[in-house]
Amino acid sequence: MRKAFFKGLLGGLLVLAGQGHAGEIETLEVKDAWLRAAPPVASSMAGYLTITNAGAQPRTVVGITSDFAGHVMLHETVTREDGTRAMRHLHRLTVAPGETVTLAPGGKHLMFMDLKRVPGEGETVQICFDMEVSTDCEAFPVRKAAPSDH
Amino acid sequence: MRKLPYILPMLLLVLLAGCDKPESDLPVNTRLGGEFTLTDQDGQPYTHADLKGQVSVLFFGYTHCPDICPAVLARVAQVYRQLDEAGEAEGFQPVFITFDPERDTAEHLKQYLPWFKADMIGLTGSLEQIRQVAEQYGVVFIKGQEEQDYLFTHSDYIYLLDDQARVRKLYPADFKIDEVINDAKSLL
């Protein structure tokens, strides 16, 4: 399932960049978006997705919001030389033209904190991405396990 | 017909041998493990001796961990549920040890773990007790500097223990569910 992503981005960027061409497809596309279900007493949750920049300009995510979390961060789980895993805060995420960035368990991910509620398995939640020049939202189904776990 | 008296006892021996549980070929790891005392989610003491008499999947983590730990918890729960659905979960016990006793109290673990529907035992304790058991299993954990919403840098191996609480195999956090199921079955 591949969907057009951040359609609102197109107009804004073309205007700002001033170099759009008629008929040029400038969209970010997202697939495999999902939020890992967690116990009702959980204090944080993680979200995952794959973003492809099919346009000609780099796209940068500078902020993420959702109605169920007071604070959302971009994080990356990294493996250190001694084999331990550490969390790194990414302040922004730039997707270069033609690049696909995968946010997946054990790697880059969205971290939802200060939870106002814990969305349940089977729910779909809206996650909104601030792209500097526009904000657009994507539906994230809440799943108990990664698609790869099945 | 004269060979029958010899064949029958041999046949009996073969049949009896077939009744024995096949010995697992998983090697015993003598460097990991040891005596410890922690507290389970019911507030009761839980020691190394309590691990005996069951095949355990033992793993460390903390419930405020957003990425790795929930993934491991979910995968271990899948191991349990698949064994359960096959009627083979008897004697199989997932055991979760937190290295964040400040937030993962027995009460919190009691609220958090049942959601995974894996009959999981959650263990907490004093920081000193947890450091000791972590060291016994070669687990490293380093608390982040943040005052609130702190995270840990940590190792994330999963340990399969036999019914004598001996470590028989280690797996990475993204272990193959079928592999753990098959290994556990060889010990059950």
Q: For A119-128, what is each residue's pLDDT tens digit? A: 999 999 999 9
For A12, phi and psi rounded to 5 degrees? -60, -45
pLDDT number for residue B90:
94
Please, which pLDDT band fits residue B2 given cuts at 50, 70 and 90?
Answer: low
For chain A, the first-to-last Cα distance in angstroms comes to 18
pLDDT number for residue B8:
56
Quote the minimal CA–CA distance from B68 to chain A in Å: 6
ipTM exceeding 0.90, yes/no = no
CA A44 to each of CA A38, A142, A144, B143: distance values in angstroms, whole numbers, following the listed order: 8, 14, 14, 17
- Return residues 88-147 of A near B (CB < 8 Å): 105-106, 109, 111-113, 144-146
Instruction: Evaluate whether residue A150 is within a structural domain.
Output: no
Domain residues for the domain of A89 are 3-144
What pLDDT, in 10s, does the model give residues A11-49? 333 333 333 333 233 468 889 999 999 999 999 999 999
Instruction: Tell me if B98 sits within 8 A of B61, measured CB to CB.
Output: yes
Residue A61's CATH number? 2.60.40.1890
Instruction: Evaluate whether residue A149 is within a structural domain.
Output: no
How many C-beta atoms surround the C-beta of residue B136 within 10 A?
Answer: 16
pLDDT number for residue A82:
83
The per-residue pLDDT of chain B, averaged, comes to 90
What pLDDT, in 10s, does the model give residues B125-173? 999 999 999 999 999 999 998 877 888 989 889 999 999 999 999 999 9
Contacts of B68 in chain A (CB under 8 A): 77, 85, 105-106
Instruction: Evaluate whether residue A31 is within a structural domain.
Output: yes
Contacts of B63 in chain A (CB under 8 A): 39, 42-43
Q: For the residues B28-35, what does the mean pLDDT come to?
A: 94
How many C-beta atoms surround the C-beta of residue A141 within 10 A?
Answer: 14
pLDDT number for residue A28:
81
Residue % of chain B over a pLDDT of 90: 78
What pLDDT, in 10s, does the model give residues A64-94? 999 999 999 999 998 888 888 888 889 999 9
Q: Which residues pair with A138 in a beta bridge?
A: A127
pLDDT number for residue A22:
32
**Binary contact (A84, B154; C-beta < 8 A):** yes
Instruction: Tell me if A131 sits within 8 A of A59, measured CB to CB.
Output: yes
Between A40-49, A54-63, A111-120, B18-27, the lowest mean confidence (pLDDT) is in B18-27
Contacts of A144 in chain B (CB under 8 A): 74
Q: Give the nearest partner residue to A149 out of B74, B116, B142, using CB atoms.
A: B74
Q: How many domains does chain A have?
A: 1
Which residue of chain B is at minimal alpha-carbon distance from A145?
B74
Residue among B60, B64, B67 with most chain A CBs within 10 A, to mutate: B67
Instruction: Give the range with max mean pLDDT: A1-5, A144-148, B162-166.
Output: B162-166
Between A23-27, A140-144, B18-22, the lowest mean confidence (pLDDT) is in A23-27
Residue type (1 letter), B103? R
Q: Which amino acids of B are annotated as binding site for Cu cation, given as ranges? A: 65, 69, 154
CATH of B26-187, one of 3.40.50.11540, 3.40.50.10680, 3.40.30.10, 1.10.510.10: 3.40.30.10
